[in-house]
Structures are given as structure tokens and as C-alpha cells.
Amino acid sequence: MNDLIGIVWNPTKIEEEELRAAIDAASEPGASQPEFRLFETSAEDPGRGATEAAIEAGCTVVVAAGGDGTVREVAEVLAGRGDAPDLGILPLGTGNLLARNLGIPLGDHSAALTRVATGEGSPLDLGIVELRRPDGGTERHGFAVMVGFGIDAQMIAETDDDLKDRAGWLAYVESLGRAVSGSEVREFTAALDSGDAEPHRGHTLLVANCGTIQGGITLLPDADPADGRLDLLLLSADGVGAWLDTVRNLVWDNGLKRLITGADSAESSATAGHRQAQSIAVDLDAPVVFEIDGEEVGEVSGFEVSILPSALRVR
């Protein structure tokens, strides 16, 4: 029996006519070609209902056609189901963080759908973050790439798109200088793998399943989306000299030097700490703005992150 591929699509990202044209281009004549079926999202339900409908329809693959938010919605529904369909991705957003980390074609819809139709599913971990709001409320979200607080959100927002495409990590250095002015070193405690809470200071803490952001810039070189581990990066620079140490660590120690020497583990420095764990619990001294896969989700006073190994299969 041929695959039935459900496409959970965000109509604000692509017109139905353009989407169907990409499907036609990806579906060459032949007996083994899959059937594609569309499931539309809405502002009120950005993907969960459409994903459930695709599962109920018997789809063997569910494609998230949209930005990182749509990918998260679909992935959260599929994760942990013993008979879950494979996850496919048709990147249509501006970030497309998971697609970038998995090498999924960007800007070529038919190529991305051809990969879904002809590819084999590979394991993919899913991160789970439980947020504690300043008013005491809690929320639970899945993520595919990274979560955290600090200058990374400003850096991502301020990096010039054309420069990212042309200069790679140099675009990060250029935008970092402007993002630094908004950084503030904070006090917090962190407990790794249910251990004792230890005090830390820093302005940026990233907890990641994947290590690459826009422009091919790799912040966490050890991150592997299928190794069952979280990769942590803590930045604590405060002052010009300290920032030079951070830039050296990111650009030289874990960039060019790593390429030259073939090192297989990230190096830490006085202002840039790299760790790995399967869970982390953080309590902050004051609320901070938090982000999930590059999207701001408001202020938190604490959070816990864990990893679900091989929770998904992705094409």
C-alpha cells in the first residue's frame, strides 16, 4: 500500500494553489507514488487538531508545512505515540531552525516534499520544557531545537539575513556587538540530572537539542538531535575583555580550531561554559524573557527541561 501523507499546513505561510503545485512537482507518475492530503491549521488551532485529523485518517507521514511553531505543534502530538506516523517538514517560516539542522531543503518546496515521499525515517529526540510563570502558573511545551534566555533572541532578531547567507559566523560576530548592550548578568540556580542545585551567574543560558541557528552558525557544536542528551551553553561575559573571551571561544575554540584539529568535544572558557545532561531545573532570581526555538514566549521565573530520546521519526 502506498503512503498516505498528510500535510498540516499554515495558510498564512503558503497559498493552497502553490502548495498543490509543489505536491504535483514532487509526485512523478508511478505506481509507488504516495497520496497527499491537506489538513489546514487556524489561528485558534495552529496544528494540534489538524495533526490529530491526519492520524485518524490513517496517514503514515504527517508533514508540518509552516514555521517553527507549526513544527512544534505537530511534533508534540506525534511524540510518544507507539504507532505514530513519521514527521515530515516543509519549511515555510523565517527561522526554520529544525530544517536547517537536518539539512532539509529551504526555499524549494518540491524538493522538501520529494525528500518526505522518498526518504527513510530517522530517530529524532524531542525536548520538553515546563515553564513557571511569575504569577505561579505553569506551562508545558515541546521543542525540537533549543530553549533559553538571554542575548540569543536579540542576536537572532538583529542578524542581517543577507549577511548570514554570505558570511556565516561573521554575521553572528557583527550582531553580537549590538546584542551585548541589552544583556544583563543574572543570578540563578541549576540542578543537572536531578542533582543538587548549584549557584550560577550569566546573561544567557541555552538548553539545546540541536546546535545550529540561522546562517549556518553553530553555537553548540556537540549537539546531536538523536543522542538522547541536552547540550547547555552558559554565557557570562561582563565587560569588554570578557566578551573578547566569549567571541574567541565561539569563533576560534569551537569553530575554526575545531575544524582544524578535528576535536570531538566542545571547549569551555571563563565566560562560555559547555555541559551535557538529560535534564536541568533552573530557578531565577528575577523573571526573564524566555524563548522556544527562537520564538519569545514571555517571562518565566523558572523552568525544567528534559529530553525524550527517539520520540519521533523524521524524514
Confidence of residue 304 (pLDDT cuts 50, 70, 90): very high
Report the pLDDT value the prediction gives residue 27, as an integer from 0 to 100: 73
Answer yes or no: is pLDDT of 209 > 90.
yes
Answer yes or no: is pLDDT of 158 > 70.
no
Answer yes or no: is pLDDT of 183 > 50.
yes
Report the pLDDT value the prediction gives residue 159, as an integer from 0 to 100: 53
Report the pLDDT value the prediction gives residue 294, as an integer from 0 to 100: 78
Q: Using a pLDDT cut of 70, give the percent of the chain over it.
A: 87
Tens of pLDDT, residue by residue over 78-136, are: 997 878 999 999 999 877 989 999 999 999 999 999 999 999 999 999 999 999 999 99
Report the pLDDT value the prediction gives residue 198, as an integer from 0 to 100: 97
Q: What is the pTM of this model?
A: 0.88
Q: What is the DSSP string of the chain?
A: ---EEEEEE-TTTS-HHHHHHHHHHH--SSTTPPEEEEEE--SS-SSHHHHHHHHHTT-SEEEEEESHHHHHHHHHHHTT-TTPPEEEEEE-SS--HHHHHHT--SS-HHHHHHHHHHPPPEEEEEEEEEEE-TTS-EEEEEESSEEEESHHHHHHHHS-HHHHHHHTHHHHHHHHHHHHTT---EEEEEEETT---EEEEESEEEEES--B-GGG-BS-TT--TTSS-EEEEEE---SHHHHHHHHIIIIIIIIIHHHHHT--SPPP-SSEEEEEESEEEEEEEEEEEEEETTEEEEEEEEEEEEEEEEEEEE-
Answer yes or no: is pLDDT of 41 > 70.
yes
Answer yes or no: is pLDDT of 160 > 70.
no
Answer yes or no: is pLDDT of 152 > 80.
no
